[in-house]
């Protein structure tokens, strides 16, 4: 069987660890995110990539430590959308020291960390979190900072090999002499717009000038650490400190002159070797959708889990190779996603899934320590959303209609909402927050005789036949079969006649006619789903002329004769 990307990466990591640490070692896998604003689905790819590889290694019997760094000691670079404009005053300060824009958490960083961490928890991803603001201030890296400053010229030379010299006002020699890999936050304005002016190795003390407020001061690293190493030094320093064996990064981190390329050289100064690395591609939000003000406009993990079951979201990341970009569709594509998942679940239940899909299902639905949530009593998501839409989210009515579509539910028994979770809530959230107004279904009040009169004769005959046979076909499977067989029957064809261009055109014309009668436009939810959503009596009413209309038509025909 062809190995998937998770297996291939785990094989590489395992071979490297055996060689470097031995059989009884703990494999250290690392991920990290800067809480610069709402943490989106693209960011999720970092810890999810590590988690999936870590789980594969745990399944092989290895002890694995998944460390996730919150880079909350990074500076605020710009004010994200949705944040008050006056937060520009905090640009240059660490995220950990900036107040929460909405006054709910102890800091800006904690707001976005808390939301993302809650999403990870629902996905079964439980790394060991390290907040870098705490690690730096605690003095965890003080010796590594001292070493970087001692070897600042070697570090500068490595960096200079990959730098573009265009636009540089100072000579390489001048820049080298003034270079320090450590930047402190100003003790006066608390921003990182500083530069070191001297360093004394014997007591680890330095002086600095703040280019923002003009403050001049200094302190000893032996007393406190109120700053951090530049990113391209910080990353390899942590590989050494944590003895990292595997860490992925965005594809930009592995390009020539990027953080990983430079880090491979700098980490050697710390007597360590760069971890196994893979680049991962973009993950975005797709689909035409209305985003409500309450839901927000950012594709965060929380927003995704509001409409996608946790196991399905894991499945999306597991089934795509790390270098394959993809989008998570918040629009109509979400309905297709659920259908694909349900097809996989049916394959698994029948024992018909191939080894690759079996492995993907296992990665999606369980870890070595827990089961991941998904609906075990699935109702088709398109059906559920259509019924919620058409009934205007009347829960009692939705459950009654859904019960009629389930073959395993006895007559008169109503399926419980709890049996449909988390899918029921996902469908409800999607209809309320992501279904555009012009895609909502407005059901007609009565039979539209004027529209019916404009239909071709074959479509009129097809509509009459459908109305007559609704009573004996009132479930999803039979209605679907009926919908596709009627255009064949009214044309004298066998119901097993394979589709051809003429038949496809006839079926499309029939469907348009039905949409026109039911909801006044030529498209809508799948018609079997739509019919079940409005109920048998309403469906008959909209597809059958009234007695008066039928008699009037008969009188007109007699008059013509």
Q: Are residues 276 and 341 in the same domain?
A: no
CB distance 452 to 550 below 8 Å:
no
Q: Give CA–CA dist 97/118, Å, rounded.
A: 22
* Res 102: pLDDT: 93
* Res 499: pLDDT: 85
User: What is the pLDDT confidence band of residue 251, given thresholds at 50, 70 and 90?
Assistant: confident
Q: Are residues 453 and 507 in the same domain?
A: yes
Q: How far is the first Cα of the chain from the last one, in angstroms, to the nearest whole number?
A: 74
Question: Of 419, 438, 457, at which residue does a domain stop?
Answer: 438
Query: Range with the lowest mean pLDDT among 26-40, 224-238, 250-264, 394-408?
Result: 394-408
- Does the pLDDT of residue 169 top 70, yes or no? yes
User: Is 493 domain-assigned?
Assistant: yes
| Domain containing residue 71: CATH number | 3.40.50.620
* Res 256: pLDDT: 74
Q: Give CA–CA dist 445/447, Å, rounded.
A: 7
- Does the pLDDT of residue 297 top 60, yes or no? no
Q: Are residues 269 and 293 in the same domain?
A: no
Q: Are residues 110 and 35 in the same domain?
A: yes
Mean pLDDT over the full length of the chain: 91
Of residues 398, 374, 389, the one with CA closest to residue 290: 389
User: Is 500 domain-assigned?
Assistant: yes
Among residues of the chain, what percentage have pLDDT more than 70?
Answer: 93
Question: Of 365, 389, 406, at which residue does a domain stop?
Answer: 365
* Res 533: pLDDT: 83
User: Is 116 domain-assigned?
Assistant: yes
Q: Are residues 130 and 246 in the same domain?
A: yes
| Domain containing residue 462: CATH number | 1.10.10.350
Q: Are residues 426 and 482 in the same domain?
A: no
Query: Range with the lowest mean pLDDT among 148-162, 176-190, 255-269?
Result: 255-269
Q: Are residues 106 and 242 in the same domain?
A: yes
Q: Are residues 125 and 254 in the same domain?
A: yes
- Does the pLDDT of residue 551 top 60, yes or no? no
Q: Are residues 261 and 112 in the same domain?
A: yes
Which distant-in-sequence residues (6+ apart) come within 8 Å of 39 by Cβ? 33, 112, 115, 116, 300, 301
User: What is the pLDDT confidence band of residue 516, given thresholds at 50, 70 and 90?
Assistant: very high
**What are the beta bridge partners of residue 206?**
199, 219
Q: Is 155 exposed, middle or buried (0-12, 13-18, 19+ CB in 10 A)?
A: buried
Q: Give CA–CA dist 226/139, Å, rounded.
A: 10
Q: Give CA–CA dist 159/520, Å, rounded.
A: 66
User: Is 21 domain-assigned?
Assistant: yes
* Res 298: pLDDT: 72
- Does the pLDDT of residue 249 top 70, yes or no? yes
Q: Please identify which residue in the block is written with the tokens 């570090």.
A: 155
Q: Each residue of 493-507: pLDDT tens digit?
A: 998 889 899 899 999
User: What is the pLDDT confidence band of residue 255, given thresholds at 50, 70 and 90?
Assistant: confident
User: Is 212 domain-assigned?
Assistant: no
User: What is the pLDDT confidence band of residue 532, given thresholds at 50, 70 and 90?
Assistant: confident
- Does the pLDDT of residue 552 top 70, yes or no? no
- Does the pLDDT of residue 292 top 50, yes or no? no
* Res 75: pLDDT: 97
User: Is 181 domain-assigned?
Assistant: no
Q: Are residues 349 and 303 in the same domain?
A: yes
Cis, peptide link before residue 30, omega less than 30° from 0: no
User: Is 198 domain-assigned?
Assistant: no
CB distance 31 to 46 below 8 Å:
yes
Q: Please give the residue range of the domain that contains residue 262.
A: 5-144+230-280
* Res 174: pLDDT: 93
Q: Are residues 129 and 257 in the same domain?
A: yes
Q: Each residue of 55-80: pLDDT tens digit?
A: 999 999 999 999 999 999 999 999 98
User: Is 224 domain-assigned?
Assistant: no
Question: Of 438, 464, 479, at which residue does a domain stop?
Answer: 438
Structural domain total, the chain: 4
Q: Are residues 253 and 325 in the same domain?
A: no
* Res 560: pLDDT: 44
State mean pLDDT over 242-260: 89
């Amino acid at each position: 069987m062809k190995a998937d990307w998770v297996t291939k990466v785990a094989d590489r990591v395992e071979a490297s660890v055996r060689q470097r640490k031995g059989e009884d070692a703990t494999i250290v896998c690392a991920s990290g995110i800067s809480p610069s604003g709402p943490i989106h689905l693209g960011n999720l790819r970092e810890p999810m990539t590590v988690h999936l590889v870590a789980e594969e290694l745990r399944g092989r019997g290895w002890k694995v430590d998944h460390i996730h760094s919150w880079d909350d000691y990074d500076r605020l670079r710009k004010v994200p959308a949705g944040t008050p404009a006056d937060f520009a005053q905090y640009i240059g300060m660490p995220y950990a020291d900036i107040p929460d824009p909405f006054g709910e958490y102890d800091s800006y960083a904690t707001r976005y960390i808390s939301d993302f961490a809650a999403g990870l928890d629902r996905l079964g991803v439980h790394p060991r979190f390290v907040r870098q603001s705490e690690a730096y201030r605690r003095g965890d890296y003080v010796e590594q900072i001292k070493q970087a400053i001692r070897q600042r010229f070697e570090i500068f030379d490595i960096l200079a090999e990959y730098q573009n010299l265009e636009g540089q006002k100072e000579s390489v020699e001048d820049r080298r002499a003034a270079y320090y890999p450590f930047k402190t936050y100003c003790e006066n304005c608390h921003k990182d717009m500083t530069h070191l002016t001297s360093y004394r190795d014997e007591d680890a003390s330095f002086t600095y000038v703040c280019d923002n407020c003009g403050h001049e001061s200094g302190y000893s690293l032996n007393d406190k650490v109120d700053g951090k190493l530049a990113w391209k030094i910080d990353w390899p320093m942590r590989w050494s400190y944590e003895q990292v064996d595997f860490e992925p990064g965005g594809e930009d981190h592995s390009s020539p002159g990027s953080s990983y390329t430079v880090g491979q050289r700098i980490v050697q100064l710390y007597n360590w070797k760069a971890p196994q690395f893979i680049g991962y591609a973009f993950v975005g939000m797709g689909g035409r959708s209305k985003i409500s003000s309450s839901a927000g406009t950012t594709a965060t993990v929380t927003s995704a889990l509001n409409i996608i079951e946790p196991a399905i979201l894991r499945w999306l990341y597991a089934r795509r190779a790390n270098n394959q970009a993809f989008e998570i569709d918040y629009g109509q594509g979400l309905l297709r996603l659920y259908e694909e998942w349900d097809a996989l679940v049916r394959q698994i239940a029948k024992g018909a899934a191939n080894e690759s899909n079996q492995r993907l299902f296992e990665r999606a639905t369980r870890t070595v320590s827990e089961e991941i949530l998904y609906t075990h009593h699935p109702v088709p998501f398109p059906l559920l959303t259509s019924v919620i839409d058409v009934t205007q989210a009347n829960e009692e009515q939705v459950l009654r209609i859904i019960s009629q579509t389930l073959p395993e539910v006895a007559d008169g028994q109503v399926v419980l909402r709890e049996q449909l979770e988390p899918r029921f809530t996902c469908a409800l959230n999607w209809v309320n927050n992501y279904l555009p107004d012009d895609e909502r279904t407005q059901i007609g009040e009565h039979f539209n005789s004027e529209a019916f009169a404009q239909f071709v004769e074959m479509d009129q005959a097809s509509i009459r036949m459908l109305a007559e046979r609704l009573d004996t076909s009132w479930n999803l499977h039979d209605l679907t079969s009926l919908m596709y067989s009627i255009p064949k029957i009214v044309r004298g064809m066998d119901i097993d006649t394979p589709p051809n261009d003429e038949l496809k055109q006839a079926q499309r014309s029939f469907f348009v006619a039905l949409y026109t009668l039911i909801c006044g436009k030529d498209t809508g939810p799948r018609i079997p789903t739509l019919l079940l959503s409005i109920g048998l009596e309403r469906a008959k009413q909209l597809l059958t002329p009234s007695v008066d209309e039928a008699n009037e038509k008969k009188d007109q025909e007699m008059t013509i004769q």
